[in-house]
Chains A and B, each alone.
Chain A
Amino acid sequence: MKNNFDKISFAIILAFLSSVAVQIVSHATEPSPSQEVSELMAGGNFSYALKFVNEKIKQNPNNAELYVARGAVYARAKKNALSMLDQNKALEIFDTYPAQYNSVSKSNALHNRATLFNRMGKKYEAERDYLEAIKLFPSNSISFFELGKMQLKQKRYSEAKENLAKARELFMKQSNQEDIKEVDKLMPLVDKALSK
């Protein structure tokens, strides 16, 4: 009798452990929520992207990565004020919850906030955030690129050249052909200005 009971208990434990293992396996291979957001936006589906990320934030209100992603959705929809709130929220979470800290993700939030400052004409704040984003994640090619573009508009040609060259180098490393072309369009303008 005891033997049967042991067998049944063992079978129940085994079934439980298997179900947990299956759950772990199936969750572990899902893409990150921010990647889902990227894919939804790539399909032009901003409202789905927003709905998706809002649902995720409801489930996990202290996940900084989700605010960065939602902020990006807002920023691409030109809702700058809402985007700024989300990037600030993400940065606040990174500083408040050490377990949430991730230098790449924080660099991402700083980059997006810098772009928002740049759009608002707050160049000093934008530059500060771009530089901080680069410091946290030196492979942040897009921050070098946007900083270089901003400096070009400010006629700070030497600095622009340096940052655009660095961006190009990183884009090459990251096989980002599209943005290499963008840098190549700007470089002759910088060189022309510098030769005057």
Chain B
Amino acid sequence: MTEEKKPEIESPPVLSKLEKSEISNDAVIGGARKSEHQLMFLDARAEGNQESPSDLSLKALNPEDPQYASLIANRFEIVDNTPKSIKNGELKPLYDYSPLISKDNEVSIDFYRKVVEAWFSLPEIERNELIGAGVIVRCKEVVNGEKGTPAAFFHATKSNGPEIHIGATGTDTQSAVSIFNENRDVSGSLKHEAGHAFFDIFDLAHDTNFSKLFYRDFLKLPKDMKNDPQYKNQSHVFAECYAFVRGRQSDRVNLVKEHFREVRKFVEKKFEK
């Protein structure tokens, strides 16, 4: 729900982290050991998700081609040396099912599943756009988002790519008094943070056309909304409109889409709703 500066925190490479955390969750398909996470991706993709042009180009390469390994390593988090697996009697390449979603050890598999489902609820072309921009999604037990929200977006820095953090719990810890907020809208959280990522991808902070539309709406806002810092934040408003376009339903999203009509139209056009 929030947009933040990237913390300068050293984190281990995502791949090795996942490999470690998945040891106990392994299952076997078609003779190859597969983690529960990979099984989920298999299920999600089996439910009608189409292959993207980049998937096809990847497939066209010989697995022994060095470019093949580097493409996979750059695009996907879970890399398996076994090129194919059997699912419902059909051969399917594994690399289709591994977007850049990592999971901290403390995160429950149920929560991780919700994030994966939310990811796959985005249209494939948009997922690929996010992957192409180097966005990774981290599932966390706790996220200290702005105003206690359980999600945050971190801009790319010199050392790290853009990151979406989705927490099972958000914490608000002002004045030594805490409020822990359960994440009850995982899908909405991911959509909102993906909206922040698209705001960066399209470089809308420097787009005068977008700014004009934004201020046209902003000037018509009621006084209380004008004074609220979140409605002065173009990226936040864009992210709320994107989340709405991708199906998020809440009073807050409805408020934004009603009052930021020009921005909403811009987003709808951009994503061809």
- Name A residues whose Cβ lies closer than 8 Å to a Cβ of B: 25-26, 28-32, 34-35, 37-39, 41-43, 68-69, 72, 75-76, 83, 102, 104-105, 107-108, 111-112, 115, 118, 139-142, 146, 170-177, 179
Contacts and interface: CB of A to CB of B under 8 A. Distances in A.
Contacts of B143: 174-175
Interface in B188-246: 188, 228
Count class of interface residues, chain B: 35 or more
Interface in B164-183: 165, 167, 169-182
A32 B178 contact: no
Contact of B178 (A25, A35, A108, A175): A108
Contacts of B187: 29
Contact of A173 (B140, B154, B179): B140
Contacts of B250: 26, 29-31
A28 B185 contact: yes
Q: Which of B7, B147, B154, B179 has the most CB of A within 10 A?
A: B179
A37 B147 CA distance: 9
Given A43-B228, A139-B142, A173-B140, A25 B171 contact: no
Contacts of A171: 144
B175 A175 contact: no
A105 B184 contact: no
A21 B235 CA distance: 32
Interface of B: 4-5, 7, 9, 104, 106, 140-144, 146-150, 152, 154, 165, 167, 169-182, 184-185, 187-188, 228, 248-252
A94 to B, nearest CB: 13
A173 B152 CA distance: 13
B114 to A, nearest CB: 12
10 contacts: A35-B179, A105-B180, A112-B177, A115-B176, A115-B177, A172-B7, A173-B104, A175-B4, A175-B143, A176-B144
B251 A39 contact: no
A86 B273 CA distance: 47
A72 B176 CA distance: 10
Contacts of B171: 141-142, 174, 176
Given A175-B9, A175-B144, A29 B176 contact: no
A177 B7 contact: yes
Contact of A32 (B4, B177, B181, B249): B181
Q: Which of A26, A29, A69 has the most CB of B within 10 A?
A: A29
A75 B177 contact: yes
Given A174-B143, A177-B7, A31 B181 contact: yes
Contact of A72 (B7, B170, B178): B178
Q: Return the 9 tightest CB-CB contacts between A and B, nearest first.
A: A38-B148, A176-B144, A35-B181, A38-B172, A42-B147, A75-B177, A108-B180, A142-B173, A29-B185
